[in-house]
Chains A and B, each alone.
Chain A
Amino acid sequence: MNSRLVKNSIRFILLVLLQVLLFSNMHLWGYVTLYPYLLFLLLLRVDISKTNLLLIGFFTGLVIDFFQNTMGMQAAASTLLVFARPTVLNFYFKKVEFAPREEPGISRLGFTGFFKYAFTLVLIHNLFLFFLEAFSLAGFFSIIERALVNSVATVVLILILEMLFSRKKKGL
């Protein structure tokens, strides 16, 4: 239990620092911003209580907002992400039996499975975030296009990070 808490805390701190110090300041081709901190929310254990899931999602987003000075935006988007998480997991992996406290990572879902899972949720997060940023439905298709490109780029980074994380786990 405790080692799990320590591991989650380390993952949280690493990803948040990576996010606010590096990726929040980096805009590929001028407009693509990667959100690797979402990996933390994706990897929360499957049988986490729904209240905890929502609260963790909300506060993680709020921490990022706090550093980015985008009060509320990330919190709103990441709350939506964790809200959709159980549904998405259930939709893709109805037949998979998860052990107690298991994390939905690459090692469990497989590469394709994890990709589908991560991409769907990141896309939900990005779409909501971009519509919120624009604060209107003007430029509807350009926002969707932006969210798609942004999600693909973010998921690629998340896959790389997750492979690094899970490889380390095997080594231990």
Chain B
Amino acid sequence: MQNLLLFIRKHWFVVLFLLLETGSLILVANSYSYHGSIAFNTVNDFSGGIFSTFSNVSDYLNLKEANEQLLEKNAVLLNEQQSSLLITDTGFTYKDTLYKYIPAHVVSLSVNHPSNYIMINKGFLHGIKKEMGVISNNGVAGIVIGVSKHYSLVMPLLHHNARISGRIKKNNILVNIVWDTDDYRFGNIQDVPSHVELYPGDTIVTSGKSMIFPEGIIIGYVESSTENSNMDFKKGILRFATDFKSLQDVYVIENLMKEEQQNLLKQADE
């Protein structure tokens, strides 16, 4: 015992180094597991506060671009107004009443790590819960994985654990979208049946099968595809519709029927 203590005292520098290094590696390992990232609870009002102050400045510089995007979005919404539709069918219902959109603002984000995060300035005070979908003006952005009082943390598509179910818009074939942690502009399309032709420019949209995103929100556009002659499935490269690097305004999507859907699933399990 005394020898051990002597040894530790003699090599204190190395021992302390190994202790600290082990501590940090445990932290890294925790954030690496899927459940670790889903259970992200360290969203902090302090770092969030500092980021929002700074974000106010950069917002001002990007006002013009933001304005243009808003105008575009506005125009789309105006087109969808009841008054701009000729309603002939009395059984017409709005699909979107299933979903509620909560606007939020990005206060910090990263794009160059294998696991990136986006922090937004709305928290559980504003009705945000875990596993809600997040979209930008242009397309899908990510999924909420941590919520504090005023802020939430979003796992963007740019995360090595991110996997979202999509659909090729032209023929409704289901595919999966992942990210190979390399370039923040491109994702990978997986599980494309080999008989399906993928052309550059084809649109990939959300499948609406996840209870998180409504159907038909754009994920991205096909950039290229690889032919694999002896495989059942082929792969492709996807250009994300959302420009993650300049992401500023997002909408968090609440599925108003999620609880009902989940309860139904539970019944099936029993």
Q: Which residues of A are at the interface with B, using a C-beta cutoff of 8 A? A: 20-21, 24-25, 27, 30-31, 33, 50-51, 54-55, 57-58, 61-62, 65-73, 75-76, 79-80, 83, 132-135
Contact = CB atoms under 8 A, between A and B. Distances in A.
A76 B117 contact: no
Given A51-B12, A79-B17, A72 B110 contact: no
Nearest to A80: B21
Contact of B30 (A50, A71, A132, A133): A71
Nearest to A63: B47
Interface residues of B, number: 36
B28 A76 contact: yes
B178 interface: no
A69 B117 contact: yes
B24 A79 contact: yes
Contacts of A76: 21, 24-25, 28
Contact of A71 (B20, B31, B47, B245): B31
Interface of B is mostly: helix
Most chain A CB neighbours (cut-off 10 Å) among B25, B30, B42: B25
A20 B46 CA distance: 13
A130 B109 CA distance: 19
Interface of B: 12-13, 16-17, 20-21, 23-32, 42, 44, 47, 50-51, 54, 108-115, 117, 119, 153, 183-184, 245
A66 B47 contact: yes
B167 to A, nearest CB: 30
A146 to B, nearest CB: 11
